[in-house]
Each structure stands twice: as structure tokens, then as C-alpha cells.
Structure 1
Amino acid sequence: MKIISVLLVLVASCLSGYMADDEGEPRLLASKNILNQYLVENKDLTVEYKIFNIGGSAAQNVRLEDAGFPEADFQLVAGNVQATWERIAPNTNVSHSVIVRPVSSGYYNFTAAEISYSAGADAKKRQVGYTSSPGEGGIVNFKEFNRRFSPHVVDWCVFAIMTLPSLGIPFLLWWSSKSKYDSKPKRS
């Protein structure tokens, strides 16, 4: 997903040279990325939004709104799914993060967030755009995740206790035999 952000910036920088006729207008490119490697039920999920202004002027009254996390499926832990910036200067970027917690497991379609902003002096005319969409992601059941990725300390302790007789008894027999023959004096 980070590759998508890099490609988005690369395409934006290539396209900025071709927009010489609209240099006075702000142009916003936005990405939405899920930063977690594993999406797990009842575990925090970090979502990062990046907004790049590739235009020639500042974007005014920028508003980010993400309706992709309904309260029935996700619990908001930190941050806000609605963010505003008074101004984003040309050739700069801003980022915003939200932490949510999935309530249930299953497949979920992570949709794009909406961005709206005013272009320069005409504050009444608002431009509307969308972030990139992370797509569908599988939220794993918490018990299944623990079964796969926990260190299984209790399991290893039980294994060690169960293997102790099969390793300990031959060792004790060898030790008693060795000490029996080592204690006799050598004949000259």
C-alpha cells in the first residue's frame, strides 16, 4: 500500500509539468492506507491519509470526510474520521491518522474518503475529490490469529514435561552405570 502512495506522488510530479495552463489552481492528490500488516478483530487498526497539493496556489478550507467506518462494524479509538485544514500551500502535503477497532471478523471493503476544498479566490466553488481506495481486506478472528501467531508458551511447557520421562530415564540409567564404573579404583 505504501507503493501506491509512492506511485501517486511520482505520477503527480510528472503531471505537474503538463499543467502549465492551470498553474494558478490548487490540485489535491490524496491517498488512504491501512498501516497494519494483519487486520484482527478487536485489535487496533491504523488508517493514514496523505494529501498532496501539486497545484500552483493554496487550497482553502480543505475537508476530509471518511464514511467508510460505520459504527456497527468499527469502534473509533483515536482520531477523527472528519478533518479540516484552513489552508494547504502549493507543493506541500499533510497527513492525518485514525485508529479504529474492528468489532467483527470477515471481509470488509475499505472505500475511499471524500476530499473537498475551495480553489483560491472563488471560495463558493468547491472542488470534490476522493482518496485512493485500499480495497477489500480480510479481518481475522481473534482466536484464529492467536492460534497462528502466539508464542504457545503453555504448549511448549507441556511438551517439555511430557518428553522429560523419555529423555530422563535413559539419562539416569546411563549416569548410574557411569558412576558405578568410575568409582572403582584402577588396577595397575
Structure 2
Amino acid sequence: MAISRSLLLLPFLLVAIAAGCAVIAHASDASVPVVLAHKKVSLERLKSGSEQVTVSIDLYNEGSTTAYDVSLNDDTWSKDVFEVVSGATTKTWEKLDPGASVSHSFVLKSDVKGVFQGSPAVVKFRVPTKAALQEAFSSPVRPLDILAERPPEKKFEWVSCTYKPKFIYAPLLNVPYFVPARPNNSHANGSSNSACSHFSISQKVYWTASHCFPHAD
């Protein structure tokens, strides 16, 4: 009878052991470096007509232990299409501590028109508890439309203003008033019958674009 009860409990015991092993395995995996790589690419049209490609890659260690002998490789850019202008497509770091981040960038140039699909960068690092190198990949990038036809940018045009500053003098207040005025062509031609605005402070003051004089009622 006791043996039969033991046989009935055996499946539950095996499940408990398997669950415990899974928890231990998960705990051991959580104690290793978790290296994430984010890759960004930007395009800029040069005055020479070439396309400049700027590549930037950020590495983050989201794990709880240090990653050693970290290497970054992003040399999948076709040499028939792209030319390295500055920087290098590979980079190494001695280590990457938990919570730390590093960045690397380089610049390419292309004179070949067309759509190019870039590949993720490859990151390799060493874990002290494992003999084999660990490998990770960066985030993918969108297809690059090299030397694509782009609509011209709209530019704001500055319209020159023809107004000139003039001063109006109020005799009773002795305060100059700064008023913008448009040049009066009829006055410039010697006409004395031109219409003008007036300003009244106990005494009317008539003004044109070029003269200001008091007028008695």
C-alpha cells in the first residue's frame, strides 16, 4: 500500500525537481552579461553630389556581470558602393561593466545611386564562466535610398521694407514719437496738396514722410 502511494506521488516529485532545475538555470542565466546594441544610420547629401552615410552604434550591458573582450564588427558595407571616409567599421573594448554603455561611429561616402539594405552589426564578448565567445546582433536598420531624388526645400524669402523712420514732435509735451512712414512720392516731386495723416494733442501737428510742422486752427 505504501509502495503504491509512493508511485502516485512520483510524478509530482519529478515535476517539482524539473521546476527547481528551471529556476536554477534561469538564475544562472541572469548572472551573465546582457549586451544590447542599437545601430543608427543617417544620410546627408554633400555639395559635391555624393551621399554621406553616418553610422552610430551604441552598446549597453543590461546584465549583472561584466562582459570582457568586447568586439564590434560592422564591415558588411559593400566596398563597391561605399568608401570609408573617417573612423573604422570595427572596434574593441577591454570590458563593459554592468549598466555601462559605449558608442562607436564612422562615416562612409557613396556615389552609387540605388537602395541598399544594411545588415546588423555583430557584437562578441567573453564571459569568465564560459569558454566560448558570446555573440549578439544590433538592431536592424531601414533600407538606405542612396542619391534618391528629393523635393527641393522651401526657403523663406525676406521682403525688404520700404518704410523709413520719421519723428513727430508734440510741442506741448516735448516728447518725440517714433512712427514708421512710407516715403511720399508726391511730396518729393514738389506737390503741396498731398494728403497726410495728422496727430492732435491740444495743437494739430501735420506730418509727411519728410517734414513735420505745426498748424494753427
TM-score (norm 2): 0.55
* Residue-by-residue CA offset, 1:153-183 (whole Å, 9 max, x unaligned): xxx9xxxxxxxxxxxxxxxxx95x7755617
What SS class does the counterpart of residue 31 from structure 2 fall into?
coil
Contact 2:73 2:121 in 1 (8 A): yes
**In the alignment, what sits opposite 2:142?**
135
1:182 corresponds to which of 164, 180, 191: 191
Query: Kindly, what percent of the aligned residue pairs are identical?
Result: 24
Q: Which amino acid aligns with 1:34?
A: V
Contact 1:23 1:57 in 2 (8 A): no
1:114 corresponds to which of 113, 122, 125: 122
Q: Distance in 2 between matches of 1:87 and 1:24?
A: 16
Q: Distance in 2 between matches of 1:140 and 1:44?
A: 10
- Change over 3 Å in CA distance of 1:75–1:149 after alignment to 2: farther
1:121: how far off? 4.0
Gaps of 5+ in 2: 1-25, 158-183, 194-217
Q: Quick check: which has more Rg, 1 or 2?
A: 2
Contact 1:57 1:120 in 2 (8 A): no
Gaps of 5+ in 1: 1-18, 157-173
1:125: how far off? 0.7
Q: Which amino acid aligns with 1:46?
A: T
What SS class does the counterpart of residue 44 from structure 1 fall into?
strand
- Change over 3 Å in CA distance of 1:134–1:39 after alignment to 2: farther
Detail structure 1 runs of 4+ shifted over 6 Å in the superposition.
none
Contact 1:26 1:53 in 2 (8 A): yes
**In the alignment, what sits opposite 2:29?**
22
Q: Aligned residue pairs: how many? A: 140
Q: Which amino acid aligns with 1:47?
A: V
1:69 corresponds to which of 77, 98, 101: 77
1:88: how far off? 0.5
- Change over 3 Å in CA distance of 1:78–1:180 after alignment to 2: closer
Contact 1:25 1:56 in 2 (8 A): yes
Q: Distance in 1 between matches of 2:86 and 2:154?
A: 26
What RMSD over aligned residues (CA atoms) do the two structures have, in Å? 2.9
Contact 2:111 2:147 in 1 (8 A): no
Q: Distance in 2 between matches of 1:97 and 1:112?
A: 14
